[in-house]
Amino acid sequence: MPRMPIPFGDDVSACPIGNDRLAVLKTDMLVAETDVPPGMTLWQAARKAVVMNISDFAAKGVKPCAILVSLGLTKRIVEKDVAELARGLNAGAREYGAFVIGGDTGEASDLIISVSLFGTARRSDVMLRSGAKPGDLLAVTGLFGKTPAGLSILLCNAEASEKTRKVLVESVLLPHARMKEGLTLGRTKAVTAAIDSSDGLAWSLHEIASASNVGFLVDRLPMADEAKKFAKNNNIDPAELVLYGGEEYEIVLTVKPPLWNATEKAVANEGGRLTRIGRATTEKSVLLETKSMKRIIEPRGYEHFRM
Amino acid sequence: MPRMPIPFGDDVSACPIGNDRLAVLKTDMLVAETDVPPGMTLWQAARKAVVMNISDFAAKGVKPCAILVSLGLTKRIVEKDVAELARGLNAGAREYGAFVIGGDTGEASDLIISVSLFGTARRSDVMLRSGAKPGDLLAVTGLFGKTPAGLSILLCNAEASEKTRKVLVESVLLPHARMKEGLTLGRTKAVTAAIDSSDGLAWSLHEIASASNVGFLVDRLPMADEAKKFAKNNNIDPAELVLYGGEEYEIVLTVKPPLWNATEKAVANEGGRLTRIGRATTEKSVLLETKSMKRIIEPRGYEHFRM
């Protein structure tokens, strides 16, 4: 399309619909074999298929309005299962104020849940990946490490106390998108770049870095307490969990330094929390440098598991 | 969604976007196992995935603007194959003036091409399934029977002369959507109901009948010459081919009788052709009654093949 309002390769796509407004679109497919771990119900799988798409809208500051679903069903799926899938899809949609307005079902050799999202937005409210400038502050909307730990528990029976286990596993089975935060951030005009972290924090940093032509110096690892405990008990490098986990639906963003306080406050007013973890640099590398460690953050992403 | 502008279950879905305009959306998934017959290239499969979605837009009188694609790729698919798929998607889009503006790829155990379409339309231009009235004239935009015959050739090595074979097989491998016809029909305000015929002519008739609360008396079988020849040579009931074929992307529609001539002419002016095949009735049944046969048209649809 000539002069696309959102560049190819960003989290969402868009079409101008007049009056400086955009139709914003996104499609992504959940495939049971690689996206549905053992222990996840059909209801949860369907809800997750919606939430993972909504997370991309959240990271762009766009509210989803309508959802279409295309289901590929195996022969093992019976009517009761389809009803459960429909309830999960609807639950995911309604949590974020959207509606499932259509879809199709067909036959497939593995369960496929293909979700398409539609919403409209003011062009100026949409946060792209490409606007970060050296000196901008780097922030995240939440802490990392729980989901990869939860996946290790579900896939490999990794050890955790009952209480920690619950939190970690729930982060896998019931993910949440940062919609309130994303909509608030879009309105601040303080955000220069944003992306969702579903492919892992490290991957997200490299994506912004390459789209914006900057580097990053990360001076703080945004690690969840439960992930810290899990890493210690299982003798895992905690940085590995935080940086290369994935399937975590936070927003990774850069903020104009003079507007940091106002931005942090705006997000807090909506019940969210912004954590500053570093800054954008002229130097193109993506580095981690805290009191205790110094290392290169590699452009490695989350690899889907395969059972 | 409260007060949906297009009812759930119609060919497409829609959201109001102000000024009496609708955002129109559609998603459907092509699955290799059931939708890609032997002899169909990846380029053709990708193009077909787009065309089958565009056909639903055509039947509603809506021009597609943007296309998103979600690809599920097997491990056997190499980079060259992805490039071929991309070219096929793009070819299908550009034929109808649309653009592929985004998408995602993931891993799946069978090739999946999930296509989402977006366009905008004036609310009053959209043709629904539900407005047919007894007495309305029933029409189609083309002749039927070629695709099921072509599929028999590809799947079961059915017999046909070289010339006939080429036409029949091409109807499977290179389907076309009736976009010009659909856009013209939408503007006439003469059409009371419309649907695309991808699940077969019989199925389409029953869908309009049930959505509009009418029946149909079909007095003419719209059969393609090549299908007639094929039926004769292979000793197949020609009515079976025409009524229960499927994967044929014609528009089946009803027209207000006083506006028939103007409608037929409008379509002819765009290079298309409308064929009158019967009329809507108060009696709820769907019947075929020609000089040579009289039978009930059953609510049977096209069954995807499985290799």
- Quick: pLDDT tens for A7-19: 888 999 999 998 8
- The whole-number pLDDT of residue A2 equals 65
Query: Rounded to the nearest 5°, which phi and psi values hold at A248?
Result: -110, 130
Measured between CB atoms, which of B29, B66, B306 is closest to A15? B66
The 10s digit of each residue's pLDDT in A139-196 is 999 999 999 999 999 999 888 999 999 999 999 999 999 999 999 999 999 999 999 9
Chain A residues in contact with B35 by the CB 8 A cut-off are 106
Determine which helix (DSSP H) or strand (DSSP E) holds A56, and give its type and residue range: helix A42-60
Residue B305, pLDDT > 60, answer no
Single-letter amino acid, residue A208: I
The 10s digit of each residue's pLDDT in B157-199 is 888 999 999 999 999 999 999 999 999 999 999 999 999 999 9
The torsion defined by the Cα of B195, B200, B203 and B207, in degrees rounded to 10, comes to -10
Rounded Cα gap, residues B31 and B247, in angstroms: 14
Measured between CB atoms, which of B21, B27, B69 is closest to A68? B27
Nearest chain A residue to B30, by CA? A106
With cut-offs at 50, 70 and 90, classify the pLDDT of residue A303: low
Rounded Cα gap, residues A143 and A56, in angstroms: 18
Q: How far is CA B112 from the centre of its chain?
A: 20
Rounded Cα gap, residues B104 and A198, in angstroms: 13
Residues written for chain B: 307
A114 to B114: CB separation less than 8 angstroms, yes or no: yes
**Residue range B136-144: mean pLDDT, rounded:** 98
Hey, what are A156's tokens? 């490999």
Rounded Cα gap, residues A88 and B292, in angstroms: 52
Distance from CA of A155 to the nearest CA of B (A): 19
Distance from CA of A165 to the nearest CA of B (A): 29
Residue B7, pLDDT > 90, answer no
**Residue range B53-78: mean pLDDT, rounded:** 96
B68 to A116: CB separation less than 8 angstroms, yes or no: yes
Rounded Cα gap, residues A18 and A22, in angstroms: 7
State how far the alpha carbon of B6 is from the alpha carbons of A91, A95, B1, B21, in Å: 22, 23, 11, 12
Distance from CA of B268 to the nearest CA of A (A): 31
B109 to A109: CB separation less than 8 angstroms, yes or no: yes
Q: Count Cβ atoms within 10 A of the Cβ of residue B296 and give its class: 0-12 exposed, 13-18 middle, 19 or more buried.
A: exposed
With cut-offs at 50, 70 and 90, classify the pLDDT of residue B18: confident
**Residue range B199-215: mean pLDDT, rounded:** 97
Determine which helix (DSSP H) or strand (DSSP E) holds A22, and give its type and residue range: strand A21-31
Rounded Cα gap, residues B299 and B165, in angstroms: 29
- The whole-number pLDDT of residue A302 equals 67
A102 to B72: CB separation less than 8 angstroms, yes or no: no
Chain B residues in contact with A29 by the CB 8 A cut-off are 70, 72, 104, 106, 108, 112, 114
Determine which helix (DSSP H) or strand (DSSP E) holds B299, and give its type and residue range: none
Give the residues across from B99 on adjacent strands.
B66
Task: For chain A, list the domains and their CATH numbers.
Answer: 13-125 (3.30.1330.10), 137-296 (3.90.650.10)
Hey, what are B265's tokens? 């002419």
Hey, what are B69's tokens? 């694609």
Chain B residues in contact with A35 by the CB 8 A cut-off are 106
Helix (H/G/I), strand (E/B), else coil: B246 = coil
Hey, what are B270's tokens? 């765009």
Residue B306, pLDDT > 90, answer no
Rounded Cα gap, residues B55 and A279, in angstroms: 49
Distance from CA of B67 to the nearest CA of A (A): 9
Residue B227, pLDDT > 50, answer yes
Residue A306, pLDDT > 50, answer no
Mean pLDDT value across chain B: 94
Residues on chain A bordering chain B, Cβ-to-Cβ distance under 8 angstroms = 1, 4, 8, 12-15, 17, 23, 25-29, 31, 33-35, 65-66, 68-70, 72, 99, 101-104, 106-110, 112, 114, 116, 118, 120, 304, 306
- The whole-number pLDDT of residue A119 equals 97
Probe site for chain A from B3, B8, B15 (most A CB atoms < 10 A): B15
B106 to A8: CB separation less than 8 angstroms, yes or no: no
Determine which helix (DSSP H) or strand (DSSP E) holds B211, and give its type and residue range: helix B201-212
- The whole-number pLDDT of residue B304 equals 56
Counting one residue from chain A and one from chain B, the pairs whose CB atoms sit within 8 A come to: 150
- The whole-number pLDDT of residue A292 equals 87
- The whole-number pLDDT of residue A304 equals 56
Give the residues across from A113 on adjacent strands.
A30, A71
With cut-offs at 50, 70 and 90, classify the pLDDT of residue A307: very low
Probe site for chain A from B4, B10, B25, B55 (most A CB atoms < 10 A): B25
Distance from CA of B119 to the nearest CA of A (A): 9
Distance from CA of A53 to the nearest CA of B (A): 11
Q: Is the ipTM of this complex over 0.90?
A: no
Chain A residues in contact with B99 by the CB 8 A cut-off are 1
Chain B residues in contact with A14 by the CB 8 A cut-off are 101
Q: Is the dihedral of CA A139, A141, A146, A148 positive or negative?
A: negative
A106 to B69: CB separation less than 8 angstroms, yes or no: no
Q: How far is CA A162 from the centre of its chain?
A: 26
Nearest chain B residue to A68, by CA? B27
Nearest chain B residue to A304, by CA? B107
B8 to A101: CB separation less than 8 angstroms, yes or no: yes
Measured between CB atoms, which of A70, A72, A118 is closest to B23? A118
B13 to A68: CB separation less than 8 angstroms, yes or no: yes
- The whole-number pLDDT of residue A241 equals 93
Nearest chain A residue to B29, by CA? A70
B102 to A25: CB separation less than 8 angstroms, yes or no: yes
The 10s digit of each residue's pLDDT in A82-141 is 999 999 999 999 999 999 999 888 889 899 999 999 999 999 999 999 999 999 999 999
Q: What single-letter DSSP state applies at residue B82? A: H
